[in-house]
Amino acid sequence: MTDQAPNPKALIEHVAKALVAAPDKVIVEEVDEDGELVLELEVAEDDMGRVIGKSGKIARAMRNLLHAAGEKAGKHYELEILE
């Protein structure tokens, strides 16, 4: 296997596009805030529930994926889902 650096933006974009009904409306922006990479996820209004999930389970799972990618890269990533 090759040892590639994780690409958190591509990871979240791929997961979100797989979940939503309008994948062309998925936008992921990277923002650097005090040494922490914040990923801002925007989706169509009708798809908001799909990326958050019941009781926030899907959003929590995506944050866990980011945390794992960050551990591998030695960085800290955060996910914000924008309305």
Tens digits of residue pLDDT in 57-78: 999 999 999 999 888 888 899 9
Residue 80 token pair:
């914000």
pLDDT of 16 above 60:
yes
Name the one residue in this structure whose structure tokens are 């551990």: 71
Percent of the chain residues past pLDDT 70, beyond the cut: 93
Q: Which amino acid is at 38?
A: V
Residue 51 token pair:
């990326």
Pairing relation of β-strands 36-42 and 27-33? Answer: antiparallel
Tell me the fold of 8-82.
GMP Synthetase; Chain A, domain 3 (3.30.300)
Q: Taking all residues of the chain, what is their mean pLDDT, rounded to a whole number?
A: 91
Name the one residue in this structure whose structure tokens are 């979100």: 16
Domain boundaries, the chain: 8-82
What local confidence, expressed as pLDDT, does residue 34 receive? 83
